[in-house]
Structure 1
Amino acid sequence: MTSTLASKPETSRPSGHTGIATAAAHRTPDAPGPLVSFLRFVVCGGGVGVASGPAVTLLALSMPWTLANALVTVVSTVLCTELHARFTFGTGRRAGWRRHWQAAGSATAAYAVTSTAVLVLHTVQPSAGVMREQVVYLTASALAGIGRFLVLRLYVFGTRRHATGPLRSQDRAGGADARFPALSPA
């Protein structure tokens, strides 16, 4: 006896659903699931984040710490966005300008978290050593990274569908914004 369930075409969820379940339902067939993409995110983003710690410290020898953090944040965000586009979230192609700008929004929030954490450390303990500063910086980076993962997975690299069907390739590649189908090129 064969099951008729296996032969039914896949249907999309109603547009009112949000969250990881919706992102999973709308991802491309070769895109990794949430756990795999999170592990990849930790490897890629965490690796760049760990390298960023000493880079900020070295740059801070010749400029204010917040400026050094800003420079490292910009460089690491561009690098990580490319890594996440190609590897973490399984798009297999470059991120494109739209995704870089969207990722910059979450990176700005992460910059604020790390800068605030280290500035609080310097206020509470003005003579904090480099090791303590690194622990605070990397801990704040890890906490901000969790939020960044959710933003990137659900909004920046998540594929979306609108009432007219799946996104066209130029929409996914960074062309039109799927939330505004009327603005999409014909």
Structure 2
Amino acid sequence: MILPRLVVVTDRTQCARPLVQVVAAAVASGARAVLFRDKDLPPAERSALATDLRSVLEPVGGLLVHGGATGAPPGTPVHLAAAEPFPAARPPLVGRSCHSATELAAAAREGCDWVTLSPVFPTASKPGYGPALGLDGVAELAVGAPPVLALGGVRPDDVAGCLAAGAHGVAVMGPVMRDPALVAEYLAAAAGGPGSQHP
């Protein structure tokens, strides 16, 4: 798997338009990986929305990652919460949310394909996880971890710093949910960042 430098995380409550339209606009701006969060939906409604999102991503060879293993169809990439049990049957790709060295070490032992590390910067979207890590925290924690996606308050101007600190890329929720055209700015920043000559 070649993990993209940008993963868009969904949150329909921050969208001014229906989520599928926002994701379609993000894909039109270059997004190729979407983490479908929105875990509060009833199972049937969430499954139908996942099908719609997959139909947006598949024509461009994009990746839809199911937030949590519960309800994920067999063979679907999943992203686990920090304390969520690892599935008995391993999905083809597995990521995990991490906020500390202990959680990162556990994700590495599990063989996770990537981790999100948050919150990097102050953000209302990630309450309850202590102070922001900052770029120094990312640099310290990314050593020896699975590929890290920096998450939490990351703006396009922050991307180069995140990559320089050792993150593989960034995961972004609120800014892109509110303005999916920002995807182009994130991608341009990632293309010019440290190590960006590699996929």
> Which TM-score bucket, shorter chain as reference?
under 0.3
Q: Which has the higher strand share?
A: 2
Q: Which has the larger radius of gyration?
A: 1
Q: Which has the higher helix share?
A: 1
Relative to the length of structure 1, the TM-score reads: 0.24
